[in-house]
């Protein structure tokens, strides 16, 4: 691994290149925070894919892309005299120090849960009106549900045992079935949301990341379906003309791969 000196030199090199691109490249000169926003989101998702694939080389590349975006935003901020990369780094340093009094102060903690509770308590002392203020509104619903539950857990609002959550899930499934029987679409949607929220909660108690679990299933489905498509090409028969029984033969083959 590189020394701290080499790491700082590499970061300085990136800052210099960013200065040059912003001054000389027609595309880079035109970019704003707003124009970069959707590209940044895309880069973060690509990093997420690489992490799930456990591809270390790809993770390194995607982290570089994300780092470039952070430096880009800092450069734009410096041009309007709002902030620069030093302000950003110092800001997060001060936050980390203030949020870790068990490291930089005299607070005692016993475990990870104590740290999380202290974190949320400190945020409220800093002026936050709700522990849920830190949950971005634009998060995908599944991720948002998980973050909401983690946040309220930090202040003690949580179930005590996994069995309680499982029983709640069963209760919500019963309520969903009732609305399905009455065929009330609006109430069906509401109850379906409650079921999903309870599933996310149960996953948390099982120490399972629901987003990772669902994406794992997505990848598995894609792999098996693409195998099915390949087989359809091999036998020169479009999927639309195959029976479910025929497709099941290839699907079961794919499950063995």
Tokens 């470039």, residue located: 68
Q: Within 10 A of 164 (CB to CB), how many other CB atoms are there?
A: 14
* Inter-residue contact 19 to 75 (CB < 8 Å): yes
- The average pLDDT across 33-57 equals 93
> What global pTM score does this model have?
0.67
Helix count (H) and strand count (E) of the chain?
12, 0
Q: Within 10 A of 11 (CB to CB), how many other CB atoms are there?
A: 14
Q: 192: part of which helix (H) or strand (E)? A: helix 185-205
- The average pLDDT across 245-254 equals 94
pLDDT of residue 27 exceeding 90: yes
Q: 23: part of which helix (H) or strand (E)? A: helix 4-24
CA dihedral of 193, 198, 200, 202, whole degrees rounded to 10? -170
In this prediction, residue 169 carries a pLDDT of 96
Write the pLDDT tens digit of every residue in 121-148: 787 777 777 889 878 888 889 999 999 9
**CA gyration radius for the chain?**
25
Neighbouring residues of 115: CB distance < 8 A, sequence distance ≥ 6? 100, 102, 109
In this prediction, residue 52 carries a pLDDT of 86
pLDDT of residue 190 exceeding 90: yes
Burial bucket for residue 23 (CB in 10 Å: 0-12, 13-18, 19+): exposed
What letters, b where the CB count within 10 A reaches 16 and e where it falls short, cover 197-232?
bbbbbbbbbeeeebbeeeeeeeeeeeebeebbeebb
CA distances from 150 to 102, 111, 204 (A): 21, 16, 8
- DSSP type of residue 31: -
12-21, 76-85, 94-103, 165-174, range with the lowest pLDDT: 94-103
Burial bucket for residue 146 (CB in 10 Å: 0-12, 13-18, 19+): buried
Measured distance CA(116)–CA(147) in Å, rounded: 13
* Inter-residue contact 225 to 239 (CB < 8 Å): no
CA distances from 225 to 92, 239, 251, 253 (A): 45, 11, 7, 11
In this prediction, residue 138 carries a pLDDT of 84
Q: Which of 200, 195, 198 is nearest to 210 (CA)?
A: 200
* Inter-residue contact 33 to 75 (CB < 8 Å): no
């Amino acid at each position: 691994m590189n020394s701290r000196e080499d790491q700082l030199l590499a970061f300085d090199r990136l800052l210099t290149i960013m200065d040059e691109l912003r001054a000389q490249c027609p595309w880079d000169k035109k970019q704003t925070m707003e124009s970069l926003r959707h590209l940044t989101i895309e880069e973060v998702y690509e990093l997420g894919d690489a992490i799930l694939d456990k591809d270390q080389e790809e993770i390194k590349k995607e982290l570089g892309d994300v780092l470039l975006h952070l430096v880009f935003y800092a450069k734009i901020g410096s041009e309007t005299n709002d902030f620069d990369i030093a302000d950003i780094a110092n800001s997060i340093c001060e936050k980390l120090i203030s949020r870790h009094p068990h490291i930089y102060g005299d607070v005692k903690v016993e475990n990870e849960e104590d740290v999380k509770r202290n974190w949320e308590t400190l945020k409220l002392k800093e002026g936050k009106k709700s522990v849920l203020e830190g949950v971005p509104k634009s998060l995908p619903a599944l991720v948002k549900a998980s973050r909401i539950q983690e946040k309220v857990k930090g202040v003690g609002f949580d179930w005590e045992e996994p069995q309680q959550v499982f029983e709640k899930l069963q209760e919500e499934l019963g309520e969903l079935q009732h609305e399905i029987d009455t065929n009330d679409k609006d109430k069906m949607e509401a109850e379906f949301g409650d079921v999903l929220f309870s599933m996310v909660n149960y996953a948390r108690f099982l120490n399972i990341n629901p987003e990772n679990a669902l994406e794992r299933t997505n990848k598995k489905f894609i792999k098996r379906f693409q195998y099915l498509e390949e087989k359809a090409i091999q036998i020169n028969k479009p999927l639309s003309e195959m029976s479910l029984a025929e497709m099941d033969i290839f699907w079961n083959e794919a499950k063995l791969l």
